[in-house]
Structure 1
Amino acid sequence: MKVFKLRRSLTRIAAMMAVVLFGYGPLRAEALSPAARHIESYYQQLMPTLKQAGQLSVRERDRRFTPAISSAFDLGTMTRLAAGPAWTTFSGAQQAAVREAFARFLVADYAHQVTDYSGESFVVDPQTSAESRGGGEIVKTQLIQPGGRNVTINYLVRGGRVIDVYLNGTISDLATRRDEFASILAGGGGADALVKTLRERTESLLQ
């Protein structure tokens, strides 16, 4: 089986989350579109843990992040899309196991990366743009760093939940996951190999 080498796009986003300080300025929550409000609410749920990240163990961060991430992200859809055509060849039990393993891995990845606060701020655009290929809305956000450098982090929200994250506005985390899953599946072992790799990676992140 091929080695599972994770590209760090989403984990870099997770690291950025540790420095969020809600730089909304004059924007009011009432002015946000429903999808943008969803992202704002997500960060508000994370904020208490983010502020304490430096004093918490990675397993405690993992435990605290789980409810917010599970409710904000459509992890079932993300898992299915990442698996691609192979998803239909999995049994019902295998699909459930892959979903569970991927969800645990994703939260652990966030918990591993989010460790401290460095003074940056995060701004969400109150209006969204339509995503034409598969439907949904793009929520545009900016990470404002102390040195004046801005980083674009966009979210694809469909059906009221996040199904993809774009670093620098264009780098799709879902596309990266799809490539990684395909590499594992191509190595043989099917869904069971995918579950095993995700679980091993999760345990490594939580050490």
Structure 2
Amino acid sequence: MKKMFVLLSGVLLLSLAQTVRADVPDPDVLIKETVREVLDVVRKDQELRAGNQKKMLELVDAKVLPHFNFEHMTRLAVGKSWRTATPEQKQALMNEFRILLVRTYTKAFTSYRDQVVEIKPLKLDAAATEVTVKTSIVKPGSSQQPVLVDYDMEKMPNGWKVYDLTVEGVSLVTSYRSTFADQIQQAGIDGLIKTLVEKNQSAASNAAVAEKAGNK
């Protein structure tokens, strides 16, 4: 289930990329207007489809992550322990969680194979500051059921931001929260930070080895 979550959520997360605009589109319109353009980049770029990790990392970092509220996401993932963390610990947690997600979604994007994203219409109250945008991933010509993905988004001064998403009933934030809670209980906040740093460093090292092997 976690593997499906990683692979399929990443495909939709890429659709959140947008050019900065003076007007702020509704959240569902934002996704609908950008998904085709951004996924076309992945579809047409042979290096991305071949798994060019460096290029994919740059794409994710530049186009996807600016549309996430990482402080909110990290706070939710860490849970009640966030309140007792120092400002330095909070910043370290946000930095490492961000890197973790970059690596996770980079792997997901390289598995993209012409899925179609359908955005469900959204009735948005003018005063709304939080909404859930419901979408589904459909594989053309496949008998498999669509994969349902919900985005929890909040309105910020600079536009709508994602603070959680749910794939087939599994919340991204919740899935990390249980793991983080166990690590904090065993080794405290610093222990969690250490674990995330080591995990990110290991992932970066493995990616470098894979890329070097692929270039031979």
Which of the five TM-score ranges fits, normalised by the shorter chain? 0.7 to 0.9
Which among 43, 62, 70 is matched to residue 67 of structure 1?
Answer: 62
Provide closer, same or farther for how the CA distance between residues 194 and 7 of structure 1 changes in structure 2, counting only shifts above 3 A.
Answer: farther
Name the counterpart of 1:13.
Answer: 8
Contact 1:129 1:139 in 2 (8 A): no
Deviation beyond 6 Å, 4+ runs, structure 1: none
2:137 to 131, 136, 143: 143
- Give the 3-state SS of the residue equivalent to 2:110 in structure 1: coil
Distance 2:201 2:161 in 1: 27
Q: Is the 8 A contact 1:45 1:68 kept in 2?
A: no
2:148 to 145, 148, 152: 152
How far apart in 1 are the matches of 2:109 and 2:162? 19
* Between structures 1 and 2, the one with greater helix share: 2
Work out which structure has the larger RCO, using CA pairs closer than 8 Å and 6 or more positions apart in sequence. 1
Deviation at 1:8, TM superposition (A): 3.8
2:164 match: 164
Give the Å deviation of 1:35.
Answer: 1.4
**8 Å contact kept, 2:11–2:109:** yes
Deviation readout 1:11-38 (Å, 9 max, x if unpaired): 1224544998xxxxxxxxxxxx711123
Deviation at 1:116? 4.0
Match for residue 100 of structure 2? 105
1:77 to 72, 96, 118: 72
Q: Structure 2 matches for 1:1-207, cutoff 5 A?
A: 7-8=2-3, 10-14=5-9, 16-17=11-12, 34-40=26-32, 43=35, 46-47=38-39, 49-51=41-43, 52=45, 53-128=48-123, 136-146=130-140, 147-148=142-143, 149-159=145-155, 160-168=160-168, 170-188=169-187, 190-206=188-204, 207=207
Q: Percent identity?
A: 21
State the SS of the aligned residue for 1:187.
helix
| Residues 46 and 157 (structure 1), Cα distance of their counterparts in 2 relative to 1, 3 Å cut | same
More moved, 80-89 vs 11-20: 11-20
Q: Name the CA distance, whole Å, in 1 between partners of 2:64 and 2:13.
A: 14
How far does residue 46 in structure 1 lie from its aligned partner after superposition? Answer: 4.1
Contact 2:132-2:153 at 8 Å conserved across structures = yes
Equivalent-residue separation in structure 1 for 2:108 and 2:58 (angstroms): 14
What amino acid sits opposite 1:153 in the alignment?
V
Map of 1:30 onto structure 2? none
Deviates more, 1:36-45 or 1:105-114: 36-45
What is the TM-score with the length of structure 1 in the denominator?
Answer: 0.76
1:177 CA displacement: 1.2
TM-score by length of 2: 0.74
The 3 A distance-change label for structure 1 pair 83 and 104 is same
* Contact map agreement 1:9 1:173 (CA 8 A) in 2: no
Count the aligned residue pairs.
Answer: 184
In the superposition, relative to structure 1, how do residues 43 and 194 fare at CA in structure 2: closer, same or farther (>3 Å)? Answer: farther
C-alpha displacement of 1:203: 3.1
- CA distance 1:74–1:179, change in 2 (3 Å): same
Equivalent position of 1:28 in the other structure: none
What is the CA-CA distance between 1:49 and the residue it aligns to?
4.9
Distance 1:81 1:19 in 2: 22
